[in-house]
Chains A and B, each alone.
Chain A
Amino acid sequence: MPLMLPTIVRNLFGGPATRLYPFQVRDSFARARGHVEFDDNKCTLCGNCARRCPAAAIEINKEKKELTFFPARCIICEVCAEACRRDAITVEVKWRSPFYTKPVEVHQPKGKEKAS
């Protein structure tokens, strides 16, 4: 125990080591992976993201022109954002708050396939 004394004394006079959380929030790091956002104006329903997603969190229905996203399955690996050719998927730094029920996001993208 005597060897621990310098640390104990330092802690005694050093002030709190933690933040007063809800009042004092640490800034997220610039490239932290928080949650995934879809841009409906850019997405063309090409399906690259859904094919690459390791957690099967994205489903695409080309007939109904719908993209269904299951945030509770998402592991925020950023693979979809890397796969997207139209930059329609972005990874934001803020985390989602916890949810009580598993939400389902249905997107109806309006992006146009470029005539090439």
Chain B
Amino acid sequence: MAPRTIAPFGPQHPVLPEPIQLKITYEDEKVVDVLPAIGYGHRGIEKACELNEYPKNIYLCERICGICSCIHGITYCEVVERLWPVEIPPRAKFLRTIWSEMSRTHSHLLWLGLLADAFGFESMFMQFWRIREKVLDLLEMTAGQRVTQSISVIGGVRRDLNGEQKKKCIEVLKEVRKESEALIGVLANDYTVKARTVGKGVLSKDQAIALGCAGPTLRASGVCEDCRMQKYQAYGDLEFEPIVETAGDSYARAVVRARETLQAIDLQLEALGKLPAGDINVSVKGNPPANEAIFRSEQPRGEVFYYAKGNGTRNLERLRVRTPTYANIPSLLVMLPGCELADVPIIALSIDPCISCTER
């Protein structure tokens, strides 16, 4: 038997933008065992949400994660609205959908770039990020800021789209779609990409369900589950089909995200076309009643679960956030053992780890 060595992967590692440590036990070049150690980014946001007044929590929840900040804010508003419950106007639902899909587009483009960077395809990384910049500009134009959009309030949204912005959005999104289609063609067919990703980190359908994975990690293993199937917000009025791949390897996860990028752009274009007229918010007075509610929505990384419990005061009794990465980390325990040491970065990246989400 070859001697076993334990090597730390992280907390600081070039492919990981955030701190997580994987203690990897390996024999020769084969990984035998892995133990994740987390806790480097714990900020106690759930506790802070209990001490804060409930309208201020929107901005706190947006800061759980930088990339999915828009959807975190929207989901928090949705769950608190369910405590009364409050019905929001249809235009606000469509606007929330448009901004959610816009942030999905930029998140997936960011991830595809990071994947290209992880296997050393630098020029593709630059190209993906160049496209992403256009989406960020759209976000800044419509919502006011590039990253933390802060567009959602309890009872609706804060900003409306005018005709000119709508036209500009459609124009830029079509451009982005054309450019990303070309690049995704390269990603899906290039032999260097395939050599690094096909068959790496295979997760079978049963394993994916038993490990409670979420989002693209789950759908790449052939499970057709997407929170948008619940038809919340405007998804009931849009043509939406979850994207499912069956291979369950890193390549399938990349393809799911790549196809979702294009799908997200289509959803935005469709929603912009169908945008109903009317108010963008309803005024909500008073404090949330003593009630509890859950809401799940689909983030770029998967299903985010919010639980809120009100107690009739200005503060919430309890807020619990289960982010998609939190559910996906245990899948590393199954995917990594048996792989080559050199494939660890790609496999770890293929679940799209977001540690500030995980630890809150």
Contacts and interface: CB of A to CB of B under 8 A. Distances in A.
Is A in direct contact with B (CB under 8 Å) within the complex? yes
Contacts of B145: 32-33, 76
Given A17-B130, A31-B159, A4 B190 contact: yes
A17 B56 CA distance: 39
Interface in A15-72: 17, 29, 31-33, 52, 54-55
B289 interface: no
Nearest to A82: B158
Interface in B144-189: 144-145, 148, 150, 158-159, 182-183, 185-186, 189
Given A3-B186, A54-B56, A33 B144 contact: yes
A77 B147 CA distance: 12
Contacts of A8: 123
B140 A7 contact: no
Most buried by B among A1, A8, A29, A75: A29
22 contacts: A3-B185, A3-B190, A4-B124, A7-B183, A7-B186, A17-B130, A29-B140, A29-B141, A31-B159, A32-B140, A32-B141, A32-B144, A52-B55, A54-B52, A54-B55, A54-B56, A54-B58, A75-B59, A77-B59, A77-B150, A79-B59, A82-B158
Interface residues of B, number: 25
Contacts of A78: 144, 150, 158
A6 B123 CA distance: 12
Interface in B51-70: 52, 55-56, 58-60
Contacts of B144: 29, 31-33, 78
Contacts of B56: 52, 54
Interface in B279-299: none
Contact of A55 (B59, B141, B190): B59
Given A17-B130, A32-B140, 18 more contacts: A3-B185, A3-B189, A3-B190, A4-B123, A4-B124, A4-B186, A29-B140, A29-B141, A29-B144, A31-B141, A31-B144, A32-B141, A52-B55, A54-B55, A77-B59, A77-B150, A78-B144, A78-B158
Contacts of B60: 54
A8 B126 CA distance: 11
B192 interface: yes
Most buried by A among B55, B56, B185: B56
B139 to A, nearest CB: 10
Interface in B232-258: none
A33 B192 CA distance: 43
B90 to A, nearest CB: 23
Contacts of A7: 123, 127, 182-183, 186
A31 B148 CA distance: 15
A3 B187 CA distance: 9
A114 to B, nearest CB: 24
Please give me the 6 A-B residue pairs with the lowest Cβ-Cβ distance, nearest first.
A54-B56, A33-B144, A54-B59, A3-B186, A29-B141, A77-B150
Contacts of A1: 190, 192
Most buried by B among A1, A17, A54, A75: A54
Contacts of A75: 59, 148
Nearest to B190: A3
B66 to A, nearest CB: 13
